[in-house]
Each structure stands twice: as structure tokens, then as C-alpha cells.
Chain A
Amino acid sequence: MAVYKRRYNPYTGSLTPEWSRFFVLTRYAFADLFKARFFVVLLVLSLVPILFFASYIFIANNKTAQLLMQLRSAGLFSVETQYFIVIMMVQTQAAFLLNCWVGPVLIAGDLTNGAVPLFLSRPFTRADYVLGKLAVLGLLLSAVTWVPCLLLFSLQAGLATDGWIWSHLWMVVPIVLCSAIWILMLSLISLAVSAWVKLRIVATGVIFISFFIPAGLGEMFNAIMSTRWGILLNFSYMFRLILAKGFRERSGLLGSFGWDEIPVAAAWAVLILVCLLSLVILNARLRARETVRG
């Protein structure tokens, strides 16, 4: 067969706009995720509580249903701050479990197979790479936290009378903000762990440990040193504190601590610090080169 001399021809097809290049990674990651049956089951299960919460709203706004259920007290079903706090608590825990399953594989696979230098040799920055991976978790966790929460809010707004929406519109801010900080922290911790520990089994364990062990150590620190600042190591509690302050809900959420004992600024500072620490780890681990020892 004759071989003809061929000159280099540049790619002439359409280019992905620079601002949305990170989304290519997200798209492929989602395609991979939805191939796993366990992930789909987990995602569906994490949305099941929303159905119960929606039926609660339906009963709370339907006099006939209440009569059928022979409810004597009309105030038994009320959709106020506590209702949304409960949803947020349940859904953020579901988000945590989803994150533990999805997070560890996002970067580890690329690092193990030496794919990071290949990604970064294209017109694609490290920030784009992290953003692409972060978007996977961000979108996924949003789909189980603030998005269904706002849907329930709009359902209640549609069913309720007497201008419920205007008196409760401020709740949109804590719903979105509290979910945002929790999602950001979870995602960045997962990505950092995924970049640091390449094995999935170990990475899943480390994510769990990074939530449970500091909380235990903090409690112990409080007991030994007779102080209360050890609670800052309990990230879930810090989230609860932000949630309670955001919804101005004084009862139940803060446990044995008083309303003003731990300032909410400290809780925000801790969660932001964890995010920054995760970014430092990602910055150290994600390089367009590879060191081979041996």
C-alpha cells in the first residue's frame, strides 16, 4: 500500500468554550457514576424522605385529610422552622453518605493511572480540573439537600393561605447558605482525601474517620480540660449551630450548650478553615508531573 506524505492538520471542529471546559469532566464522571447500580439505589433512597416530608405538607394543608385521620389538634401538623430544620438534618446526613460513596473515586483513579498529567497537558488548568470534580459532588449533593428543600418550600407556599410565603421567605437564605457550606466542606474533604489516599477502601474509611474521630477527641478535650472549645472539632455540631442560628431556632439543636456559648462566627471559621486545608492538600497533590520511585 502506498504511504503518502501527510502534513499536520490542526483540529478544525468547534471548540468547547473556555468557561465551560470543566464541565466535560463532570459529564463523564456522572456517566460513570450512573453505571453503578448501587449508586442509583443510594441516590433514590436518599430522596425517599422527601416523599414523606411532602405528604406531611399535604396533610398539614388539607382539612379533609386531617378529619379523615381524626386529628383533634389543628396545630399538630405545622410547617415552620423546625420542619425545615428536620429536613435539612436528614438530607445533609444522606448527602454525607452519598459523598462517602462517590467522593473517594473521583481523583484517586486519575492519580493511580497517571492521568492527571494528560488532563493538564490540554488547555485545561488545575483550577478547571478541581472545579470539574467539585461540580460532580456539588450537583449531586445539591440534588438531595437544598433543591428538594426549596421544592418543599414552594409546595407549602402553593398550598398555604394567608400570605405564608411572604412571612417565611427569609427561610430561603438559611436553606441555601447552610446547604452550600455543608456541600462545599464535604466535597473538598472528599476530593482532598481522594487525592491523598489513592485506594478507595482506605479513602472511604478516612472520610468517615475525619468526621467521627475529631468529634470524639473534642468531647474528650472538653472533659479533661474543663472547657467547651473542643466542640469546634465536631463539624456536624458546627453545622447544627449554623443551622440553629440561621433559622433562629433555640430549642433542641444545641444539646447541652447554651444559645450564645459558641459564637456562630467560630462555627463558620472552622468550616471555612477545613475547606482551605483541603484546598492546600489538593494544591500539593495535583501536579502536572509524576514522581516514580523504585
Chain B
Amino acid sequence: MNAQDLVARAQKWSKEQPWRLFGSQISILVRNEVRRNLFTRRRIWIYLLALIPALIILTHLIVGKYNVDVAQMEIDTQVLAGIVQLYYFRLGIFFACMAIFTWLFRGEMVERTLHYQFLVPVRREVLVVGKFLAGGLVAITLFETAVFACFYLTYARFGSAGKSYVFDGPGLGQLGSYLLVTALACLGYGAVFLALSLLFKNPIVPGVVIMGWEAIAPIFPAWAQRLSVTFYLKHLCPVSLPVIGPLAIFTIVAEPVSPFIAVLGLLCLIIAILALSCFLIHRMEITYTAE
């Protein structure tokens, strides 16, 4: 079979699929999941995880109200970069995505409701995509709000100088980059945890192994670094942080990647992991007694 035949078969298959039906099913799934998962008591700790940095900055703003030095702005920009790149990417978004995305299927298993989803006439791939988008929507809404609040509170204390840094300087561009990177981090980690929840009965331990991998990936060759989410996120961050600590001497600096390639690379990684999840969901069997 040559390439032309393959393309023709793919086109034929694509035309035969009821995409409109899939779209409406996905939108219903997303609506239901968001309604069930966005504002629940169980999620309070995730809101705290996202908003505690903003609360600390707010405290700093209130405490240091009469002690504002414009020269401090550069240091605060570095601190904000540290908050986004070290706290949010490595811990906050990571653990929140672990909670949100592993719960999408594993939670239904624990609550013994997954069979309802499997009994409705919806393809399992549609279920995976719908749940992934719902989880992504919840995580992105939460963390974009948190990052925006941190950014606003960091520069609000500088008054007019802060305003001119944001609107006349590099501030607005940095905010855009942070928001883009946050959204990509939510989707990237989300895809990883969705796949892990379909692969393992208790995905927390492999999740922590992934966390370790993300932390030590910089000491591996460039091709291996491409298998980590933080590799792509690092290249999109507007302010770079110096590497400190024991890993600094082993760090291999990979060739800089253009923002377009970084976004595309991460999206490709997400699609590949989602495709794996679609494959894994077909093997999934409900065994409530084992939970």
C-alpha cells in the first residue's frame, strides 16, 4: 500500500465520521463535568493551592504599603518569575492537575459511577477528550486567575511606576506569556495525569516519579529533555531564572527553541499522550471491588 492509498483511506475515514455528533457530545460532557467539579467542597484545597501565592503577595502589599521603592521592581519581577516557574509549574499546577485529571476516571471508579458513562452510546475516545477538556477548563480558569492576581498585586504596589512598567514597558508581554505558559502547563500535566490514571490503579506514586523526572530532566541530553513538559515551558517564560543548587553543575543547556516551536512541540506531546489515553481506555475494565 503506497502513501497515496493511505491518504485516500484516511480522507474517506474522516468523511465517514459524525464529527458534528462528536462535537455536541463533547460539549455536553464538558458542561456536565465542569458543573460537577468546578465549585465543590472537595476542591477547596486546590483553590488554596492556586491562590495562596496571591494571598502572600497581598499580605506583603498591605504590610509594606509605606515602604515602596521603585528600585525594588526588578527584584519583584524576578520573585514573580520564581513564583510562576518554581511554585506554580513544579508544585501548584502539578499537584492540582494530579488531583483534577486523575479524578476524572479514577474518581468515577472510586465512586462506582463509571459504568453509567460506559453504558451511554458515546465512543470512549469522545469520553476521554470530553473529560480532558473539562479538566483543562477547570485548571486553566483557576490558575490563570491566580497568576493574573499575582501579577496584578506584584505591580499594583508600585503605583504609577508599576502601571507604566505594565502598559508602556515589557509588563503586558510578560503577563501574556505567563498566561499562555500557565494554560499550556495545565494541558500538558493534565494529559500526563489522565494517561497515568488509565494506566495505574494508584497513579500518585508514578506521578511523583514524573515530578522527579521533571526536576532532573535538565541534566539529561537535549533529546531526553524534550520528553518533559517543563522543557517547553522554560523556553516560553519571559524571565529566565538562574539554575542554583546541586543540579546546577550537571545541567546541560539545550539549544534555545523558538516560542512557536515550543508551543507546537508541547501541543504535539499533549496530542500524543491523549492518543495513548484513547488507546488505553479501550483496555479499561470496571472492577469496583478492587478499588
Q: Which residues of A contact B (CB under 8 A)?
A: 100-101, 199-201, 204-205, 208-209, 212-213, 216-217, 219-221, 223-225, 255
Contact = CB atoms under 8 A, between A and B. Distances in A.
B79 A213 contact: no
Contacts of B99: 205
A213 B245 CA distance: 19
B56 A208 contact: no
B205 interface: yes
B204 A223 contact: no
Nearest to B109: A201
A216 B89 CA distance: 11
Interface in B80-134: 82-83, 86-87, 90-92, 95, 98-99, 102, 106, 110
Counting chain B residues whose Cβ lies within 8 A of the other chain, the interface size class is 20 to 34
A205 B95 CA distance: 8
6 contacts: A201-B202, A213-B91, A217-B87, A219-B86, A224-B56, A224-B60
Contacts of A219: 86-87
Interface string B14-52: 000000000000000000000000000000000001001
B82 A201 contact: no
Contacts of A216: 86-87, 90-92
Contacts of B90: 216
B56 A212 contact: no
Contacts, number: 60
Contacts of B265: none
A213 B203 contact: no
B205 A220 contact: no
B79 A224 contact: yes
Contacts of B136: none
Contact of B49 (A101, A201, A208, A213): A213
Given A201-B110, A204-B205, A205-B207, 14 more contacts: A199-B110, A200-B202, A208-B208, A212-B211, A216-B86, A217-B87, A219-B86, A220-B86, A223-B82, A224-B57, A224-B60, A224-B79, A225-B56, A255-B245
Contacts of A221: 56
A191 B88 CA distance: 28
B53 interface: yes
A200 B63 CA distance: 41
Q: Which of A201, A223, A225, A255 has the most CB of B within 10 A?
A: A201
Nearest to B83: A220
